[in-house]
A and B are shown apart, each in its own frame.
Chain A
């Protein structure tokens, strides 16, 4: 029951995903929001690799998906931090309450 199998890994990644979701919804510093997004992406990667290990152990499909998730995460972080810098230059703040430029 308590030996580490597929379900334990899935529960672990669900816990990490929900912690990341909580951070994205509650944090007010934009850099911290991006950090919590990274937690969520890592949780998804754990899920993919656990399925790859236990369901398709020879084809490695989940590991290939995890590689592409990492590529997308790197691109997302670079563009997101560029956007934070650019808004910080105009507003002198990284508080998410001040990021209302796109609101009508």
Chain B
């Protein structure tokens, strides 16, 4: 049975309509017109225990709203939701014992307390047995190097230190599921690496189910096998990263270094995307033309010194999906003969 399951999940926010300018500000004091906006339109998810899933999408796509419904603090407008057998918003406190949450932009540590005391407080809140608490804390300190700032008040920690503290805080009670909402935002490379390592180990060693929301696709590539793409409140892709590459990475780029200038660079199913001196970038549709065919065509017309093929980056693929929209993409690839 899936540990997380949502069916036709939908959340509509209602807000007061605002008018522009000073006149508008006064007007909105007296009129009450509401604008309804569906942050989550229709989300169907099923996740097995122990999965590590990247949940990605552009700003405002509905990622955080979904997460908040999974934690039980937002009540869905309609649809079904089950997390570890519970309906989160009906059994908020019980659900809270099963989950751990890290928000990159918001700390759950207590601002004016030293890190150690925040942990002590969390131990009391989740009623973690003492020995369990001590062994967890030792383990996390080792991976995240917490010792050096254990006695520092949280408000004096650097962002990287605070995030490491937040990760340990979220995992102290051995949650079955963790929601990570942009956990590496604003961190330097070293801190990012430490956090990624921590996520991977928690997932492997404890079988913790992880949902990772991020804009940093390096996080996703390093950690997740499965990704769920959300856009406009709907899931537009759900599957292994490799499949996303296969389906959408239809275009590769052939980078050719010419021995001498060559004028005729128009080839079928190929687009000249960049030209710098003797180096040209030819973007081609690999379903229509193979690299071998293209290289042959180029060498027939020009003398070349060097060639290389650039695979599409995950980031490029996803950017294209954001920009062009999934459905137009899907339709285009369905109607074209492969």
Partners in one complex: no
